Amino acid sequence: MEIVEDGINLQSILHFPFSILQFPIKSSLITLLPVALAACQSAPATHENALIDLWAQNTAAFGVYVPNENPPTAEQRRNRDRPPPVYTKEGGERLAQNPLYDFVFLNLEGAYDVGAVSAIAEGLRSPTAVSRKTLLVRA
């Protein structure tokens, strides 16, 4: 059986994996269903991501890589040694204080570290932050 409202098959639009008519429903619910769906679709989505707002306005965004706070020494570079990178809350706070950055990019490809993500995210939320930054993480 199909549920049809104004000539539109609601069951096919809503992709019900079951027949809604298998369940006892009052006809008023079926009448209100299109109204409820229209209300949900017309409500604007809210978010707190400034980067999405910039992109939606076709505005360029500026960001930087999160710097490793444990860069290799000259000797380590000569020997091609790579010490593990270090990312801290304080490093995130320094990035948060720069008004030019819309986003920061944390590259953890091949060495994902949830502690690094947490530390930078916490630093970006610092009370001394001059603007809200988006944290992009490559894992």
Write the pLDDT tens digit of every residue in 22-80.
444 444 434 444 544 455 555 566 677 888 888 889 999 999 999 999 999 999 999 99
* In a shared domain, residues 29 and 90: no
Q: What is the pTM of this model?
A: 0.64
Amino acid making up residue 2: E
Looking at residue 57, its pLDDT comes to 92
Kindly state the tokens that stand for 123. 């630093």
* In a shared domain, residues 32 and 55: no
The helix/strand count (H/E) of the chain reads as: 6, 5
Q: For the chain, how many structural domains are there in total?
A: 2
* In a shared domain, residues 123 and 59: yes
∠ at Cα 87 (83, 89), nearest 5°? 155
3-state helix, strand, coil in the chain (%, to 5): 40, 10, 50
* In a shared domain, residues 31 and 74: no
What is the rounded distance in angstroms from the CA atom of residue 108 to the CA atom of residue 119? 13
Looking at residue 38, its pLDDT comes to 52
Structural domain range at position 16: 4-42
* In a shared domain, residues 81 and 109: yes
∠ at Cα 66 (62, 70), nearest 5°? 155
* In a shared domain, residues 19 and 62: no
* In a shared domain, residues 34 and 100: no
* In a shared domain, residues 93 and 124: yes
Long-range contacts: 82-86, Cβ < 8 Å, 24+?
Answer: 84/111, 85/111, 85/116
Asked whether the beta carbons of 69 and 91 are under 8 A apart, the reply is yes
- Find the Cα–Cα–Cα–Cα dihedral 15, 18, 24, 29, rounded to 10°: -10
